[in-house]
């Protein structure tokens, strides 16, 4: 007889969003079951190997469980997080997985079941009444299946598997311009949309620089090594910049390279057509990345080899390769609201996207993102409307928000989604798919599910303001729902202004700065083992482009560094700082990016 496990909330999937949703729901004291295929948690952040998160890097966006995760990484990662130039934070993926596992293990009301995948969704009209799980075949045998019966179910799978199993209305692929009036959408179906129905995944691997030559990296005999498709991979960057793109501590390099690199997009429809065809695609994608590793070694020398003991072993890869590809896109729910490109672009002459307003006139935002719109199609340059801006001496992205109405469907009353499977267009997915915003989405979905249990209601009935208030005042990890450049979460007026713009969206500033009082830190509170004191001459090279020529410490005298910051107080000072004047700062140098990351300006 098949075992039945009753619970309040079921979360399916070990993804970034799924893991976060389960943690948040259980932290609210609600009985939660998390079922995962893998023994590692975290998806893009860990199991997919992208331990170089993109977006939500500014101090004001480091809120919620995303901010909590960053602080935990900073405490645990030897050598710090300032290693690469593609991200402000890089770390060993195992450390990230350990942090998430520790959080799960601390929650007695969270039951984590490992090694199972969903195989059937049971519906009763417009409700999910159960999900059946089975293990993958082992030595010709299948372990006993079980069914989880939950009041609220959350799909946190990488490819939106419950949407297909439950026959829940969803999208896959492109929308033409006529559907959502998106400026970057194609007018008609063309060669690009046919060849690449979704963005290409990447099978990430970790390379290492050794003191001596390593064994040759080679593909399997059935798939012989082919190098020609990788020619020119780093021609416009140079070998050092290429490697430092995803540099990790310990002379390790995360390889997730889009230019003639390990993106793989051959016949992407196989990912959802059948398990057999999916496995065929995965084998090809893995060997494509293995070939790229061999190409790098052939060009840069035998001292570059595959890193040891990074990921757990699996049947398809060795420990240098992620446990599965980095999926940039999945099946996408058809929700009450669909996020489109128009929702993530800046308002006219502004630095922020408009706040979403629901049918009752309320601000409906429950998560923040800010990454530029980024699409991956091997060998193709796809033009998108720009949403980048300069802030703090560097490029970042226009902040936007995720509306609650994109997390649920009017067709299924007790389902929430929390990953790349939210209700979003193919075009807008290029910004909403990134790790930090998906972590924020997961937190919101977990909180929403817990509130539904508390108030005995369905997601469609939950007032969005109750969800926003709960996120803003969460006792573990308060999360922002309104993007404000100049208000980091430790600011004493942070909560006041978050609520103010929920009540007065018509006053939301187009430059993203609220009229808050200045917030003064102790001048030397930022001095740590990684932050140091520096002094030098400040140079304004262009708008939001600054440099320092160091005079102190003596060991660095004469060095020139780009000045960047994630702190709003520092950014504000630099806007009017006198060119060629003396400047004293506390910060740390990133040798891959060539920048000095400033945490605090000191009085002259």
Read off the pLDDT of residues 204-237 as tens digits, 9 standing for 90 and up.
Answer: 999 999 999 998 888 765 555 567 899 999 999 9
Q: Which CATH number fits domain 3-170+400-483: 3.30.420.40, 3.40.50.720, 3.30.70.20, 3.50.50.60?
A: 3.50.50.60
Q: Tokens 């040798």 correspond to what residue?
A: 591
Determine how many CB atoms are found less than 10 A away from the CB of residue 517. Answer: 8
pLDDT of 316 above 90: no
Percent of the chain's residues with pLDDT above 70: 95
Indicate if the alpha-carbon torsion angle 378, 383, 387, 388 is positive or negative. positive
Interacting residues of 179 by C-beta distance below 8 A, sequence separation 6+: 185, 425
- Give the Cα separation of 202 and 48 in Å (integer): 9
- State the pLDDT at residue 312: 77
* C-alpha to C-alpha distance for 84 and 467, rounded to whole angstroms: 36
Contact 534, 562 (CB under 8 A): no
Q: Would you tell me the crossing angle of helices 64-76 and 16-27 to the nearest 10 degrees?
A: 100
* pLDDT tens figures, 339-389: 999 999 999 999 999 999 999 999 999 999 999 999 999 999 999 999 999
Q: Where in the chain is the domain with CATH 3.50.50.60?
A: 3-170+400-483
d(CA 117, CA 15): 13
| C-beta separation of 45 from 96 below 8 A | yes
Average pLDDT rounded to a whole number, residues 468-497: 97
| Vertex 358: Cα angle to 482 and 9 (nearest 5) | 80
CB 208 within 8 A of CB 305: yes
N-term to C-term CA, the chain: 76
Q: What is the mean pLDDT of the chain?
A: 94
Show the beta-strand stretches assigned E in 315-413: 332-333, 365-369, 388-391, 394-397, 400-403
CATH 2.40.50.140 segments of the chain:
532-602
Number of C-beta neighbours around residue 343 at 10 A? 24
CA 340 from centre of chain: 18
Task: State the pLDDT at residue 139.
Answer: 43
pLDDT in tens, 387-439: 999 999 999 999 999 999 999 999 999 999 999 999 999 999 999 999 999 99
Rounded to two decimals, the pTM is 0.96
Q: Which residue in the block uniquely carries the two structure tokens 């063309």?
A: 190
DSSP-based three-state secondary structure for 385: coil
pLDDT of amino acid 144:
73
Report d(CA 335, CA 166) in Å as an integer: 15
Mean pLDDT across the stretch 160-182?
Answer: 98
Considering only CA atoms, which of 368, 350, 338, 326 is closest in space to residue 429?
338
Q: Please tell me the distance from the alpha carbon of residue 371 to that of residue 474, in angstroms, as a whole number.
A: 25
Return the structure tokens found at 451.
Answer: 């509130």
pLDDT tens per residue, range 498-544: 999 999 999 999 999 999 877 766 655 565 668 999 999 999 999 99
pLDDT in tens, 67-85: 999 999 999 999 899 999 9
Identify the band that residue 263 occupies on the pLDDT scale cut at 50, 70 and 90.
very high
Instruction: State the angle between helix axes of 64-76 and 93-105 in degrees (0 to 180), rounded to the nearest 10.
Output: 120
CB count, 10 Å around CB of 2?
A: 8
Q: With 80 as the cut, is the pLDDT of residue 108 above it? A: yes
Of 376, 162, 191, 422, nearest in space to 272 by CA: 162
Total residues found in the chain within this entry: 604
- Residue 593 CA to its chain's centroid (Å): 21
Tell me what pLDDT residue 131 has: 98
Q: Which residues contact 75 (CB under 8 A, 6 or more apart)?
A: none
SS3 assignment, position 69: helix
Q: Alpha helix locations (H) across 315-460?
A: 341-344, 429-432, 435-455
Averaged over 16-29, what is the pLDDT?
98
CB distance 19 to 156 below 8 Å: yes
Query: Regarding predicted confidence, which is higher, 141 or 259?
Result: 259
Of the candidate ranges 106-115, 317-326, 467-476, 546-555, the one whose mean pLDDT is the lowest = 317-326
Cα dihedral sign, 553-555-558-559: negative
pLDDT score of 318 more than 90: no
Q: Which pLDDT does position 522 carry in this prediction?
A: 61
Please state, in angstroms and rounded to a whole number, the distance separating the CA atoms of residues 160 and 169: 11
CATH topology of domain 532-602: OB fold (Dihydrolipoamide Acetyltransferase, E2P) (2.40.50)
Closest Cα partner for 508 from 282, 291, 354, 294?
354
60, pLDDT greater than 70: yes
């Amino acid at each position: 007889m098949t075992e039945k496990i009753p619970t309040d909330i079921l979360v399916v999937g070990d993804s970034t969003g799924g893991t976060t949703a389960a943690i948040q729901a259980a932290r609210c004291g609600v009985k939660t079951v998390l079922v995962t295929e893998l023994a590692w948690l975290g998806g893009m952040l860990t199991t997919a190997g992208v331990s170089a998160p993109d977006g939500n890097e500014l101090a004001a966006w480091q809120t919620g469980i995303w901010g909590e995760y960053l602080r935990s990484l900073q405490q645990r990662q030897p050598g710090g997080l300032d290693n690469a130039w593609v991200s402000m934070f890089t770390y060993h993926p195992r450390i990230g997985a350990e942090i998430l596992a520790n959080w799960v293990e601390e929650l007695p009301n969270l039951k984590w079941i490992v090694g199972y995948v969903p195989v059937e969704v049971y519906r009763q009209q417009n409700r999910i009444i159960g999900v059946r799980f089975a293990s993958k075949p082992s030595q010709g045998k299948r372990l006993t299946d079980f069914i989880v019966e939950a009041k609220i179910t959350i799909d946190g799978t990488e490819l939106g598997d419950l949407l297909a199993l439950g026959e829940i209305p969803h999208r896959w692929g492109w929308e033409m311009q006529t559907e959502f009036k998106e400026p970057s959408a194609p007018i008609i179906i063309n060669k690009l949309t046919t060849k690449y129905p979704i963005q290409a995944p990447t099978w990430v691997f970790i390379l290492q620089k050794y003191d001596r030559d390593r064994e040759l990296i080679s593909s399997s005999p059935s798939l012989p090594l082919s190098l020609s498709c990788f020619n020119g991979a780093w021609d416009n960057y140079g070998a050092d910049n290429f490697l430092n793109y995803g540099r990790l501590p310990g002379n390790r390099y995360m390889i997730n390279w889009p230019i003639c690199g390990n993106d793989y997009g051959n016949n992407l429809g196989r990912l959802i057509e059948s398990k057999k065809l999916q496995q065929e695609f995965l084998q090809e994608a893995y060997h494509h990345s293995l070939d790229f590793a061999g190409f790098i070694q052939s060009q840069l020398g035998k001292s570059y080899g595959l890193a040891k003991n990074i990921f757990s072993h699996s049947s398809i890869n060795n420990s240098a390769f992620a446990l599965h590809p980095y999926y940039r896109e999945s099946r996408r729910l058809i929700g009450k609201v669909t996020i489109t490109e128009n929702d993530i672009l800046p308002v006219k002459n502004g630095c922020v996207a408009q706040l979403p307003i629901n049918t009752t006139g309320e601000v409906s935002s429950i998560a923040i993102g800010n990454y530029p719109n980024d699409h991956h199609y091997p060998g193709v340059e796809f033009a998108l409307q720009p949403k980048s801006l300069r802030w703090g001496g560097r490029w970042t992205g226009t902040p936007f928000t995720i509306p609650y109405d994109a997390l649920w469907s009017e067709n299924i009353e007790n389902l929430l989604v929390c990953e790349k499977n939210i209700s979003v267009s193919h075009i807008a997915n290029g910004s909403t798919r990134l790790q930090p915003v998906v972590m924020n989405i997961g937190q919101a979905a977990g909180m929403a599910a817990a509130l539904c249990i508390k108030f005995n209601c369905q997601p469609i009935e939950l007032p969005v303001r109750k969800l926003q208030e709960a996120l803003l005042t969460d006792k573990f990890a308060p999360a922002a729902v309104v993007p404000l450049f100049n208000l980091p979460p430790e600011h004493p007026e942070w909560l006041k202004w978050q609520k103010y713009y929920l009540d007065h969206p018509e006053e939301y500033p187009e430059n993203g700065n609220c009229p808050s009082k200045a917030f003064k830190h102790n001048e030397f509170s930022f001095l740590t083992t990684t932050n140091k004191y520096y002094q030098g001459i400040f140079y304004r090279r262009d708008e939001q482009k600054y440099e320092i020529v160091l005079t102190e410490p003596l060991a660095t005298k004469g060095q020139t560094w780009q000045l960047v910051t994630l702190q709003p107080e520092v950014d504000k000072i630099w806007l009017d700082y006198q060119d060629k004047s003396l400047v004293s700062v506390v910060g740390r140098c990133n040798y891959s990016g060539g920048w000095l990351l400033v945490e605090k300006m000191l009085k002259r």
